[in-house]
Each structure stands twice: as structure tokens, then as C-alpha cells.
Amino acid sequence: MRRAAAVAVALALAASGLVADDGGQWPTFHYDAARRGHPPVRFKTCAFDEAWRFDLGGHTWRYEKGTSVWSASPAIAQVGGRTLLFIGAYDHNLYALDAATGEEVWRLTTGGRLNAPPAVARVGERTLVFIGSGDRTFYAADAATGEKLWSHETLPWSYTTGVSAPTAPVVVDIGGRTLVAVGFWNTDRRALRTIQRSDVFAFDAATGEVVWRRKLADTPITSPAMMPVDGRPLLFIGAEDGRLMALRATDGALQWTFTSDHAITAAPMAAALKGQPAVFVGNRWGMLNCVSAKTGALLWSSKTGHEIKSTAAIAPVEGRMKLYVGSMDRYLHCIDASTSRSLWRFQTGKFVVSSPVVCEVAGKPAVIFSSLDNRLYMRDALSGQKIWQFETGDMLWPYETRGSSLWSSPAVAEVDGEPQIFFGSYDGNLYCFKAVPRCFAEGQDLGPRPGATPAREEGSRSRPLVFLPPILGLGMIVAGFAVMLTSRGRSSDAGAGDDRC
């Protein structure tokens, strides 16, 4: 009994260490293993200049459903005395860039497109970067050199295998052993014995040995979030069949299942709410559900106007835990995490499918997110007021299938002690922004970039002439009814000989 308790405490300490302060780095999707999107990064001022951009070359391969330009989010870590940024792209390459200058350090070419974000972790003496590729293979590479250390093909190739959809990896230290857990959605359309399955793999991060593997669903699954619950590290994974599942990270045993009201396509986020562990996950029906991490019981739900493909960020703002989540109803929603009450929402021009980041800007909490209206936004986390925004260019492809995965989420990290914003846009550029020593007044920003779509100014629709059309329309309708009602008596007097319509 005492030994079991000691193991539980050790596991809790080990796992909780993974969600602790990473010193301004961004090692995995949405900052930490719990996907909370709230790094301890503080920008001193609220104005930003573009520090560099990395261009994919504008070369468009081809667009198909599920394609995104960049990984859903970059990973940023200190490697060999400098800060490197790792991001995958649809051109099959995992890029390592110098985060200070944007120069390419190395690239690793895989056999498929890289939509899933990478993760970086220290394993023994080396820093490794992990990423799943559309070629059904999971790769581990030396973060300093790009040398491939090991890889694992999750489904052998055949003429009928389809494109794979891997998730973001999550790194878990258990009893001194580092595991990296990742999900893969694989399909094979071979006759009679089709394969369509999502598996979760836990690899030994050092050797690539499969520690455990579990079939989870017949549909695609989301990236896992990890949080210790009662001393045991649990993985929380959503599936397109609507289930949110909790797995024990040590052996993959299923702990509980919560069935949502629609497909879950966004990664869940885990956090403690008034001391109780909870999981927050949005779904395709626009419902943000808060579920007990211990039992899987629904605690509350809040409806947005359209599909949620965004992982919520959570942060304490003025003493209350607040959630920030994007929706395809075009709004960024701020929701009280305890009561599910909507506090404010901000309308953008198009779908908000990115996962927001909350950090401190000029002494105040701010939320950074992108919308598919080609803008990167920074709003006051308390009131939703504008702080700064940036316009990127149009997407590389002439059109997208709505709801398909063209998203990319911003990341923030410190480079040489200086906080920076990184954003891989679907215009083919990866942008880096630095805070500059000036602040803009409300309503000002850096202005559109060359070649960008002109911004639609807020309030530009309040011109007086804008009410002319409805007055005209209502007038015509009233006139139409007047003709109908006033002519009835006269027409019936005219007799049945009229040419009726």
C-alpha cells in the first residue's frame, strides 16, 4: 500500500513537471501537455513589428480536403544555446529555423504532408523533436542536427492505403522513462477488408520501442491532452464519433468515456477548476463541453453559433478562470470557466479555427488568435478591446472546402529573453513579430502589408445611406400589399372575364 502510494506520488510529480513553467518556450501544441495555451510570457509594450518571415516559396502543390499550409502550431525550444523553431509544412518537410533570425537550420523530408504540430523534449543528453507525417510514420529527430534517430510506420504501405492523419504528440515522463504518445488515423480501402482505425501509440522516446498501443476509434481522433488526475497521468482524446476518452498514460487503459452531441475535431484542454480537474472540448455542433476529468461526467456546456475547431485557452483574469475559444460562427468567445456564462465575444470576418494564446501584454492579459479573414488579432483578455492586429496575404489555394483544416495557431515564446509571436499563415509565410517600444492608441494598427486584402474598418457600415435600401424595400412591400388589398374589390367587380394570373 505504501509502495503504491509512493509510485502514485512519483507519477504525479513527474507528470505535473511537464505542465510546469517551460521558461518561455513553446515545446508542444498549445504550449503545454495540458494544451492550456497560457505561457508565462510578458510583452512589455503593445505594439509589434515584423521581425522576419519565412516563405515556403509560394509553390502550391495541390489542395485537397484536410490540407493545411503549416503544422497547426510550431514548437519552440532552446537547443544548443540558441532558440529553434520547428514547424511542418504541406511540402512534406519539417523545418528547423533559428527563432531569432528566421534562417533555416535544417529540414527533414518525410513521405507525407505535415499537418500535425511537432513536440520537443529533452531525452537523456539530447533534445529530440517528434512529428507524425501523412506517410503514416512517426519520426524522432535530433533537434540540433535534424538527424533522424528513429521512425515507426504505423501502417504498412499498400496501393490502397489512404493519407494518414496523425495528431500532435505529447511527451510524458513516467518513472524516469520518457514516453511520447501520439494518435494516428489510418485507412486502407482494400476490398473486403478495409482498415479505418485510430490508434494511440506510446513510444519510448529514446529508442522508438512501442510501449503500448491501443485502438481507440473507427474515426479520426484529436491530439491528446495530458494531465495528472489523482496522481495518475491521464491522456484525454476526442474522436470524430463524438467520444471524449480518458486513457491511463502508463498502459493506455481506458478510464472513462463521455459521448458528446457531435463530432469532436478539436483537441481537448485540461485544467484544474476550483481544485477539480476538468477537460474542456468543443464539437462540431458548436458546443463547448466541460467534463470532469475524474469521471467523465458533464459539468456544463455552452453553445456557440457554429462548429468549434479551436482548442480553448484558459487563464486566470482578474481572479476568475476564463476560457477563450474560437468558433466558425466568426467569433472569439470569452466564457467564464466556472459558470459557462458568456462574458464577451468578438466578431471577425471569417471562421476562427485557430487556438488562442493568452499572455501578458503591457501589464494586461491579452489573447492572441488568428481568423481565416487573413488577420492575426490581439485583444484585451478582460474586455475584448483591440490591442493590435496584423494582416497577412490570401491563402495559397484559390478556394478551400469550408471546415477543412487550413488553420494555424499563433505561438509565443522568448528568444534570447525577448518575447516574440510566431504565426504560420496559410499565405505560405511564417511570421515572427517582436514588441517595439511604443504603443498605439485604440483603432490604430500597423496597417495592411503589401499585397494584403484591404482591411474592412470597424464601424464603416454605419454610414447614413446604409438605411436607404431597407426603407426602399419596406416601401415596395407596403406598396405591393396596398395594390393587393385595395384592388380586390374593384377586380371582383370586373367579373370573371379578366385574364387571371
Cβ of residue 185: shortest distance to another protein, in angstroms?
A: 9
132 binds another protein (CB under 8 A): no
Residue closer to another protein, measured from CB, 39 or 393: 393
Contacts to another protein from residues 201-240, by CB under 8 A = 218-220, 240
CB 347 within 8 A of CB 328: no
Please tell me the number of Cα atoms within 13 Å of 216 on its side-chain side: 38
Instruction: Choose, by CB under 8 A, the member of 64, 103, 147, 458 that binds another protein.
Output: 64
301 binds another protein (CB under 8 A): yes
Residue closer to another protein, measured from CB, 34 or 245: 245
282 binds another protein (CB under 8 A): no
Bridge partners, 300 (sequence order): 290
461 binds another protein (CB under 8 A): yes
Instruction: Indicate the DSSP class of residue 410.
Output: -
Q: What span, in angstroms and rounded, lies between the C-alpha atoms of 475 and 453?
A: 36
Contacts to another protein from residues 367-396, by CB under 8 A = 372-374
499 binds another protein (CB under 8 A): yes
Cβ of residue 39: shortest distance to another protein, in angstroms?
A: 29
444 binds another protein (CB under 8 A): no
473 binds another protein (CB under 8 A): yes
Q: What would the DSSP string read from start to end of 230-289?
A: TTEEEEEEEBTTSEEEEEETTT--EEEEEE-SS---S--EEEEETTEEEEEEE-TTSEEE
Cβ of residue 279: shortest distance to another protein, in angstroms?
A: 17
Cβ of residue 41: shortest distance to another protein, in angstroms?
A: 29
Please tell me the number of Cα atoms within 13 Å of 138 on its side-chain side: 29
- Tell me which residue of 68, 59, 108 sits closest to 89, measured CA to CA: 68
**Is 105 in a helix, a strand, or coil?**
strand
Q: What span, in angstroms and rounded, lies between the C-alpha atoms of 368 and 332?
A: 10
451 binds another protein (CB under 8 A): no
Instruction: Choose, by CB under 8 A, the member of 109, 347, 383, 444 that binds another protein.
Output: 347
Contacts to another protein from residues 248-267, by CB under 8 A = 257, 259-263
Residue closer to another protein, measured from CB, 71 or 348: 348
Residue closer to another protein, measured from CB, 293 or 308: 308
- Tell me which residue of 150, 243, 154, 236 sits closest to 195, measured CA to CA: 154
Contacts to another protein from residues 168-207, by CB under 8 A = 187, 189, 194, 196
Residue closer to another protein, measured from CB, 38 or 330: 330
**401-422: buried (b, 16+ CB within 10 Å) or exposed (e) per residue?**
eeeebbbbbbbbbbbeeebbbb
Instruction: Choose, by CB under 8 A, the member of 102, 146, 349, 448 that binds another protein.
Output: 349
CB atoms within 10 A of CB 233: 26
Bridge partners, 104 (sequence order): 97
Instruction: Choose, by CB under 8 A, the member of 23, 58, 451, 475 that binds another protein.
Output: 475
CB 323 within 8 A of CB 312: yes
Contacts to another protein from residues 20-59, by CB under 8 A = none
Cβ of residue 160: shortest distance to another protein, in angstroms?
A: 9
Contacts to another protein from residues 395-414, by CB under 8 A = 399-403
**Is 301 in a helix, a strand, or coil?**
strand
Cβ of residue 399: shortest distance to another protein, in angstroms?
A: 4
Cβ of residue 204: shortest distance to another protein, in angstroms?
A: 31
Contacts to another protein from residues 141-170, by CB under 8 A = 162
Look at the block and give the residue holding cell 466564457: 335
Contacts to another protein from residues 304-343, by CB under 8 A = 304-307, 329-330
CB 136 within 8 A of CB 164: yes
487 binds another protein (CB under 8 A): yes
Residues whose CB is less than 8 angstroms from the CB of residue 473 and which lie 6 or more positions away in sequence, other chains included: none
Cβ of residue 373: shortest distance to another protein, in angstroms?
A: 4
